[in-house]
Amino acid sequence: MTPLLPGATLGVMGGGQLGRMFVHAAQQLGYVTAVLDPDPSSPAGQVAHHHVHADYLDPQGLARLADLSQAITTEFENVPAPALERLASQRFVAPHAGAVAIAQDRAREKAHFEKCGVPCAPHLLIESSEHLDAVRPELLPGILKTARLGYDGKGQQRVATHEELARAWDAFKRVPCVLEKLLPLDFECSVVVARGADGGMVHLPVARNLHRDGILAVSEVFEGNVPEAPGRAAIEATCAIAQGLGYVGVLCVEFFGLADGSLVVNEMAPRPHNSGHWSLDGSDVSQFELQVRTLAGLPLAKPRQHSAAVMLNLLGDLWFLSGREAPPPWAPVLALPGVHLHLYGKETARPGRKMGHLTVTAPDASGARRVAREAAQLLGIAPF
Ligand code: ATP
Ligand code: MG
């Protein structure tokens, strides 16, 4: 494909923080940007050159985005696949609707992982009472996850017994679900890969992730963050998964490392990922620049990590620690060396809402961890 050079307009479906950071990266390279999002004050809409206020399936809004943009990507994994198909009839769209549709459905996603030879947690698709009755005791205790529309731990319920499972499925209104065996996790990690239209791939180093209440809390990226063999396996699996999808764009795959040294895949996101935010400050090419490069058909520069990095998510909870809504104490945190604060421009804080993140960079892992712990303490983030 002939590259779209700076000056062209790049469009993005969705106006959240991932879209905002994509827009920043595109603008740095000299592109014009357009965002489609129904929210008039969306984080990406605030900073893009063009903001189309429309619903994701609104034909007029989609036509407007296609008129404005030479190529279009997505930042929101629940963008309806038909909307991407519609855009693709007019413009280059990456990732393609087929890959996004697979990532939107846990059952199809797991089938794809298995097809690529990457092991998943033992699981069973539950779509009918017969499936429910067929659940073997080995799958319990487990986690019931809705097949579609889950994120940040929403649409998930831990179940220890068959009765709890039946109740949880009722509570999810009996929509298609996947029951997964609860595994003893040694660690969690993820890999961000970028794949170009020519099939070339580059990836970020493995991030080690700590989740709290189903939401990513901390990502640590430095030499030795995860054991070597599963770390290598995670990178190979991510590349195989991207290649198997014929993927173009940035893809993140999340994994569980188990106590016996084995690795199983959890899920994938067809877009940059929270666990790759550190690359804005700790790598010479960020995951958002890679998204721009894949979309524009530019060469994919191999990212080189130049600093050890620890990323802390800033959830809305931090705005309520004093009992009333007040922003966290930014000034003393910004006085610490190597702190990079990113706030997403969201007007209202709510518990569990991702308001921003901060990345601590340092020449070595112990320095990055030490400052990250100080920052966490100042902000009221639980110790890690
Ligand atoms: P996100 O959108 O933040 O990635 P999600 O809602 O898609 O989250 P999952 O990634 O499926 O949810 O699960 C969230 C977290 O719950 C995992 O990161 C892990 O900590 C825990 N978890 C999920 N599945 C299992 C499992 N089978 N065994 C043990 N822990 C699990
Ligand atoms: Mg997840």
Ligand 1 probe mutation, 187, 256, 311, 353, most atoms within 8 A of CB: 256
Ligand 1 center from residue 256 Cα (angstroms): 9
In terms of phi and psi (left: phi > 0; alpha: psi -120 to 50; beta: otherwise), the region of 286 is beta
Distance CA 172, CA 166 (A): 10
Cα–Cα distance list, 311 to 99, 167, 194, 231, 357 (Å):
28, 37, 21, 19, 7
Residue-wise over 154-188: b if at least 16 C-beta within 10 A, else e? Answer: ebbbebeeeebbbebbeebeeebbbbbbebeebbb
Position in ligand 1 atom list of the atom nearest CA 209:
18
Strand partners, 360: 310, 339
Residue with more model confidence, 213 or 48: 48
Q: Is residue 99 part of a domain?
A: no
Global pTM reads 0.96
Report the nearest-CA residue for atom 7 of ligand 1: 151
Q: Is residue 313 part of a domain?
A: yes
Mean pLDDT of 251-257: 98
The tally of domains found in the chain comes to 3
pLDDT of residue 235: 98
168 and 191, same domain (yes or no): no
Total Cβ atoms within 10 A of residue 271: 29
189 and 177, same domain (yes or no): no
Distance CA 275, CA 254 (A): 9
Provide the CATH number for the domain around residue 154. 3.30.1490.20
Lining ligand 1 with CB less than 6 A are 121, 143, 145, 150-154, 156, 180-183, 185, 188, 211, 214-216, 254, 266-267
Ligand 1 center from residue 151 Cα (angstroms): 9
- Please name which ligand lies nearest the alpha carbon of 217: 1
Mean pLDDT of 12-22: 98
191 and 150, same domain (yes or no): no
Q: What tokens were used for 56? A: 């994701």
Q: Is residue 148 part of a domain?
A: yes
Collect residues with CB below 5 Å from ion ligand 2.
Answer: 254
Provide the residue range defining the domain that includes 336: 185-379
Total Cβ atoms within 10 A of residue 378: 16
230 and 375, same domain (yes or no): yes
Q: Is residue 316 part of a domain?
A: yes
Ligand 2 center from residue 331 Cα (angstroms): 32
Q: Is residue 236 part of a domain?
A: yes
pLDDT of residue 149: 80
Total Cβ atoms within 10 A of residue 228: 9
Residue 152 in this model has a pLDDT that exceeds 70: no
259 and 338, same domain (yes or no): yes
Q: Which of 55, 74, 93 is the last residue of a domain?
A: 93
Mean pLDDT of the chain: 95
Provide the CATH number for the domain around residue 37. 3.40.50.20
Q: Is residue 62 part of a domain?
A: yes
160 and 13, same domain (yes or no): no
51 and 165, same domain (yes or no): no
Residue-wise over 10-42: b if at least 16 C-beta within 10 A, else e? Answer: bbbbbbbbbbbbbbbbbbeeebbbbbbbeeeeb
Residue 71 in this model has a pLDDT that exceeds 90: yes
Task: Give percent above pLDDT 90 in the chain.
Answer: 92
Ligand 2 center from residue 215 Cα (angstroms): 8
Strand duo 185-195 + 249-258: pairing: antiparallel
Ligand 1 probe mutation, 104, 156, 313, 354, most atoms within 8 A of CB: 156
Position in ligand 1 atom list of the atom nearest CA 211:
20
Report the nearest-CA residue for atom 20 of ligand 1: 211
81 and 215, same domain (yes or no): no
Provide the sign of the torsion angle of the four alpha carbons 272, 276, 277, 281, taken in this order. negative
pLDDT of residue 77: 75
Provide the CATH number for the domain around residue 209. 3.30.470.20
Q: Which of 72, 93, 114 is the last residue of a domain?
A: 93
Residue 158 in this model has a pLDDT that exceeds 70: yes
247 and 355, same domain (yes or no): yes
Q: Which of 137, 165, 181 is the last residue of a domain?
A: 181
Report the nearest-CA residue for atom 27 of ligand 1: 182
Ligand 2 center from residue 266 Cα (angstroms): 7
301 and 218, same domain (yes or no): yes
Q: What tokens were used for 205? A: 């180093």
Using N-to-C axis directions, what is the helix angle for 17-28 and 287-296, rounded to 10°? Answer: 70
254 and 228, same domain (yes or no): yes
Residue 160 in this model has a pLDDT that exceeds 90: yes
Distance CA 339, CA 359 (A): 6
pLDDT of residue 134: 87
pLDDT of residue 153: 64
Q: Is residue 238 part of a domain?
A: yes
Ligand 2 center from residue 152 Cα (angstroms): 7
Report the nearest-CA residue for atom 1 of ligand 1: 152
241 and 138, same domain (yes or no): no
Q: How does pLDDT run across 111-131, given as a tens digit for each residue? A: 999 999 999 999 999 999 998
Q: Is residue 82 part of a domain?
A: yes
Position in ligand 1 atom list of the atom nearest CA 183:
28
